[in-house]
């Protein structure tokens, strides 16, 4: 039996668009080609950014594209206790510290200078929690399955926030805890997260968690060179009819999988069946970005 477990982990700040489809489809095909499992995790740790109903809308979009997941969907809003336990552990290891500094105070520095490492500057202010990126494993090395050997010094990236001043959990901690909780063996996601990986691997090492393999996918950008995103008004994926078939075909082209032209009008299950069989990451070009073929 395959030990591969992949995942798609959208933030429900808006419905999926073509750029998010690339991450979903790439991780799905990589998992299914390996006869592995594919899980969905809704990263809803920031409720003010997540309009009601968007998580369900995302799940309906995945279903429309035939991207059926295994197990039950994991919601990060249910995972507070696990994040708190991890933060406690890091605090005991002196790898996490409270910080009262505001962005404005250190705006003249490229990264947070670590002023609260040796004691909170202003204990009367709301406190965030930061990672001691200068301690723990350094440098961080891994081999990205597309972009090859990577080496970063987390201390040069800065002491990333683990828990925010408003008591909301930060992405870096939550993603690491939940990738381990869900037993993820392979992370496949957009290139924009490649430079977040060093903090995540540093946290995995500190917390003695399994370290997944990583495959970062070229980002699809719009004609103006900007990443497709909700902020850039990327249109939501369709959920019905012929539109879904055409968009799925375009997404396979964007993933360099050269699907046969006649499959462009085929039902999603036929397109996916072919794409799973022929999934080949050797066809992917290691560009940080690529144009949206649908534009």
Residues that bind ligand GLU (CB under 6 A): 9-11, 43, 175, 189, 193
Locate 27 and state its tokens: 């991780």
Cβ 189 to ligand GLU shortest distance, Å? 4
Q: How far apart, in whole angstroms, are the C-alpha atoms of residue 2 and residue 191?
A: 26
Cβ 263 to ligand GLU shortest distance, Å? 28
Strand order across the beta sheet in which 96-99 lies: 96-99, 128-131, 161-163
How many C-beta neighbours within 10 Å does residue 165 have? 16
Identify whether 139 is preceded by a cis peptide bond (ω within 30 of 0): yes
Q: Based on CB atoms, which residue is closest to ligand GLU, 99 or 180?
A: 180
Q: Token pair 């995540």 is at which residue? A: 200
Cβ 262 to ligand GLU shortest distance, Å? 33
Cβ 175 to ligand GLU shortest distance, Å? 5
Which of 278, 280, 292, 279 lies closest to 21 in space, CA to CA? 292
Which of 42, 118, 27, 110 lies closest to 78 in space, CA to CA? 42
Q: How far apart, in whole angstroms, are the C-alpha atoms of residue 2 and residue 20?
A: 26
Cβ 67 to ligand GLU shortest distance, Å? 15
CB 211 within 8 A of CB 237: no
Q: Based on CB atoms, which residue is closest to ligand GLU, 48 or 119?
A: 48
Q: How far apart, in whole angstroms, are the C-alpha atoms of residue 174 and residue 86?
A: 9
In terms of residues, how long is the chain?
A: 295
Q: Based on CB atoms, which residue is closest to ligand GLU, 192 or 256?
A: 192
The DSSP H or E segment spanning 54 is helix 54-64
Locate 230 and state its tokens: 């909700």
Q: Based on CB atoms, which residue is closest to ligand GLU, 11 or 37?
A: 11
Q: Based on CB atoms, which residue is closest to ligand GLU, 17 or 189?
A: 189
Which of 18, 15, 14 lies closest to 292 in space, CA to CA? 18
Cβ 65 to ligand GLU shortest distance, Å? 17
Q: Based on CB atoms, which residue is closest to ligand GLU, 64 or 175?
A: 175
Q: Based on CB atoms, which residue is closest to ligand GLU, 30 or 43?
A: 43
DSSP state of 47: G
Cβ 26 to ligand GLU shortest distance, Å? 11
């Amino acid at each position: 039996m395959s030990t591969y477990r992949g995942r798609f982990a959208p933030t429900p700040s808006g419905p999926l668009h073509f750029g998010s489809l690339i991450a979903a489809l790439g991780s799905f095909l990589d998992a299914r080609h390996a006869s592995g499992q594919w899980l969905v995790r809704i990263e809803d740790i920031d409720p003010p950014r997540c309009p009601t109903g968007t998580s369900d809308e995302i799940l309906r979009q995945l279903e429309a594209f035939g991207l059926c997941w295994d197990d039950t969907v994991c919601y990060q809003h249910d995972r507070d206790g696990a994040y708190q336990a991890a933060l406690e552990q890091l605090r005991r290891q002196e790898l996490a510290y409270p910080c009262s500094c505001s962005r404005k105070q250190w705006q003249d520095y490229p990264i947070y200078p670590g002023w609260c490492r040796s004691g909170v500057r202003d204990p009367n202010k709301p406190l965030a929690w930061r990672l001691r990126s200068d301690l723990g494993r350094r440098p961080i090395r891994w081999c990205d399955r597309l972009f090859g050997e990577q080496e970063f010094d987390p201390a040069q990236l800065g002491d990333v926030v683990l828990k925010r001043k408003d008591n909301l959990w930060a992405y870096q901690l939550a993603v690491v805890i939940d990738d381990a909780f869900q037993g993820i063996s392979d992370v496949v996601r957009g290139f924009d997260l490649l430079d977040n990986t060093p903090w995540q691997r540093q946290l995995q090492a500190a917390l003695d968690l399994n370290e997944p393999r990583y495959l970062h996918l070229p980002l699809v950008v719009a004609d103006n060179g900007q990443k497709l995103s909700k902020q850039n008004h990327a249109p939501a994926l369709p959920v019905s009819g012929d539109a879904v078939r055409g968009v799925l075909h375009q997404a396979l082209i964007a993933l360099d999988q050269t699907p046969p032209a006649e499959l462009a009008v085929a039902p999603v299950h036929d397109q996916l069946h072919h794409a799973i069989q022929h999934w080949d990451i050797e066809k992917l070009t290691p560009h940080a970005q690529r144009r949206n073929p649908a534009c």
